[in-house]
Structure 1
Amino acid sequence: MWRSIASNALTLFIVVLVLAAGLLAWGREQFGGPGPLEQAICFRVERGDSLSAVSRALEEQGAVSDARIFRIGADYSGKADDLKFGSYLVLPGASMAQVLEAITVGGQSTCGREVNFRISVARAEVVLRQLDPATNRYVEVVAFDPATEAAPAEYVAVAEADDIRWRVTLAEGVTSWQVVDALRRAEFMSGEIAEVPPEGTLAPDSYEVTRGADRAALLALMAERQAATLAELWANRVEGLPYDTPEEALIMASIIEKETSVPEERRRVSAVFVNRLEQGMRLQTDPTVIYGVTRGEGVLGRGLRQSELRRETPWNTYVIDGLPPTPIANPGRLSIAAALDPEESDYLYFVADGTGGHAFARTLAEHNENVARWRAIERERGEAEASGVQD
């Protein structure tokens, strides 16, 4: 009898173990397998939310199939207490394990709203964007120039939110004065800027910041990044360049940056200036003259006068020989690379061609023909504007 009872108990114990193992395997499959979400969502974890509240919200929004399994998986993996406040992108088919990873490990919102303070040559503007989960792309909500426009209601309503991502984007070709002037108007930043950094030493790039970030610290990061880029590219420069220091290369890069916005032209423009330097010709480039007039403090906003082309300033390359004494803007990586690896060509001249690019020439006669064509294009455009005709 006892032998029978023991046998039955052992059998029952084995069955229970098998069932438990099966249940555990099923739970693991549910936790690690593809989730039920059909369309991406932006899931928000509120400050102070409990795991129970989060798991229920995930189930209600269709991101997980079972809130209890999600909680058990979080406990089992030791992440139950690691929830991070913010908004997170949950992709279609994301497993419970992937959802848990997103809301506990990242610690940085990957969804929701972003404010990008874009500093360009023409203006600095605050852009509020919202991520569209369906396309995983940001959609612009509102934009304004803090120098001339009041903050719109859409921006004011969300500017104090804790989960807003903040970014400062510096465009290629802006001057250091323009950067400092814009940052001083960035109300979401703090701290004083003692002086304008040397021209050319700030790296055009996109910088993620936090609300209240120190302005001087951001400028230091920009300078550190530019110095690293210059050092890297200088170390890999081609031989025989007509400048001897990284600083001279940076000056050349700034001129290239201001002369063309077409990436494919940068090395060719660089070749023109290198060829002119090697032949003892003056660079004769308008952007350097403009810098001599403005000192980088804003945009000239008009054409150059003949008197300005003749005026002697340290930057007027129609008057001086060689390179100007400083950069005339903050060049990007592509322009620095072009200055240190120009295209192999014998071009000595270029002028705008009406398409956004330039026509290049080897001789002055060819160049004069290109200039004549450009002048004709300018006249046609002027006549069209005068008559109200649109392209």
Structure 2
Amino acid sequence: MKHAFLLLLILPALAILAAGTAFWILWAGPGPIDQPKTLIVEQGSSVSRLAYQLEREGLIRGNATTFRGFARLFGGNAPIQAGEFQLRPKMSAAAILTHLQYGRPIQRLVTIPEGMPSVLVHERLMQVPYLTGNIEVPPEGSILPDSYSYRRGESRVAVLDRMRGAMRRELERLWGQRGGNSAVASPEAAIILASIVEKETGKPSERRMVAGVYTNRLRRGMPLQADPTVIYPITRGRPLGRRILRSELNADNGYNTYRSAGLPIGPIANPGRESIAAVLNPAQTNALYFVADGTGGHIFADTLDQHNANVQRWYAIRRARGEM
């Protein structure tokens, strides 16, 4: 009897000890990884799916079944986040689950600056090492410049679709806020003119004024005479690296706004929000001309005589700098 009684005391104690040991080894204690590891969790992953992934990648002790069991008992009800996560060395199974439920995924961003042409957008996306697949050069003016997050292993097509979707939504929003003094008759025309404004302005504060000049010229049937439209068919938006040739100023290619009045046949870059907003609500001005002022901005003129005097001042600045 005495031995049986002792056995009844020892067996529960052994069971508690075994359970505690399993809890520590398989759940709360140090994990098997000895260096930082990256874990990519797919959208919609459940605890069960995660458990098999952790077992397969050797990130937990034990197996998927034990992980699921401990997760149900101690893991709470918060969903598993999708994304890319950095796991620390010796991270326990419990800590991994908490990190995937409440932690911050690795933020990866690709930035498209305002005015970047589509050939360079294509190059930038193709150079991102963690994206997959190939893409064609997107149509000019179809990308909204911004910073876009992406997941490691995500397709370039998916990221490009987000960029194009952002432009469609933003253009629709801004078109609904256009003013009565805008000279563009369609959202597509707004993108074309905004791309010219984007390439002509070195100072954000000048966007509406430059848009006002071009609006006045369009209403009067005057050629826009925008150098970037001459350069675009030569380089597709890349820097020209030299002065424009007389033959290029005379070229008839649908883009040259020295040769023809009105808008060119398409955008010459991907304009940002502020340039689109500027052509939809241009400054009220009588100005028809502008030229560089030597500070990165422009000086504006209402008449050709005023403009010619401003051009001579700009030439004097350039000669003083040794540029002419």
Same fold (TM over 0.5): yes
CA distance in 1, matches of 2:321, 2:183: 39
Residue from 149, 160, 176 that aligns with 1:208: 149
1:199 maps to a residue whose letter is E
Give the aligned partner of residue 116 of structure 2: 174
Give the aligned partner of residue 165 of structure 1: 107
- Secondary structure of the equivalent of 1:173? coil
Deviation per residue, 1:192-229 (Å, 9 max, x gap): 11x32211000100011122221111111110000111
Q: How does 1:265-280 map to 2 (within 5 A)?
A: 265-280=206-221
- Secondary structure of the equivalent of 2:153? coil
State the 1:165 CA deviation: 3.4
CA contact (8 A) 2:249 2:258 kept: yes
* RMSD (CA atoms): 3.1
- Given the alignment of the two structures, is residue 187 of structure 1 paired with residue 129 of structure 2, yes or no? yes
- Given the alignment of the two structures, is residue 108 of structure 1 paired with residue 104 of structure 2, yes or no? yes
CA distance in 1, matches of 2:301, 2:311: 10
Query: What TM-score do you get using the length of structure 1 for normalisation?
Result: 0.59
1:174 maps to a residue whose letter is M
Deviation per residue, 1:233-286 (Å, 9 max, x gap): 001101243221100011010000000031110000000000011111110010
CA distance in 1, matches of 2:226, 2:166: 28
CA distance in 2, matches of 1:108, 1:353: 47
Go from structure 1 to structure 2 and tell me whether the alpha carbon gap of 1:199 and 1:365 turns closer, same or farther (over 3 Å shift): same
- Secondary structure of the equivalent of 1:382? coil
Go from structure 1 to structure 2 and tell me whether the alpha carbon gap of 1:210 and 1:367 turns closer, same or farther (over 3 Å shift): same
CA contact (8 A) 1:173 1:254 kept: yes
CA distance in 2, matches of 1:108, 1:368: 58
Runs of at least 4 residues off by over 6 Å? 80-84
Identity of matched residues, %: 48
Deviation per residue, 1:317-353 (Å, 9 max, x gap): 0001100010000000000000100011111111111
Go from structure 1 to structure 2 and tell me whether the alpha carbon gap of 1:228 and 1:255 turns closer, same or farther (over 3 Å shift): same
CA contact (8 A) 1:86 1:108 kept: no
- Secondary structure of the equivalent of 1:326? coil
Q: Which has the higher contact order (CA 8 A, sep 6+)?
A: 2
CA distance in 1, matches of 2:113, 2:151: 20
CA contact (8 A) 1:270 1:343 kept: yes
Q: How does 1:1-391 map to 2 (within 5 A)?
A: 51=28, 79=76, 85-86=85-86, 103=99, 105-109=101-105, 165-193=107-135, 195-296=136-237, 298-382=238-322
CA contact (8 A) 2:184 2:280 kept: no
State the 1:106 CA deviation: 3.7
1:165 maps to a residue whose letter is Q
Deviation per residue, 1:55-109 (Å, 9 max, x gap): xxxxxxxxxxxxxxxxxxxx99964998985379xxxxxxxxxxxxx94644424
Count matched residues: 252
Go from structure 1 to structure 2 and tell me whether the alpha carbon gap of 1:81 and 1:241 turns closer, same or farther (over 3 Å shift): closer
Unaligned runs of 5+ in 2: 1-24, 32-71, 89-97
Go from structure 1 to structure 2 and tell me whether the alpha carbon gap of 1:184 and 1:276 turns closer, same or farther (over 3 Å shift): same
Query: What TM-score do you get using the length of structure 2 for normalisation?
Result: 0.70
CA contact (8 A) 2:117 2:236 kept: no
1:282 maps to a residue whose letter is P
Deviation per residue, 1:357-378 (Å, 9 max, x gap): 1111111111111111111111
Go from structure 1 to structure 2 and tell me whether the alpha carbon gap of 1:80 and 1:227 turns closer, same or farther (over 3 Å shift): closer
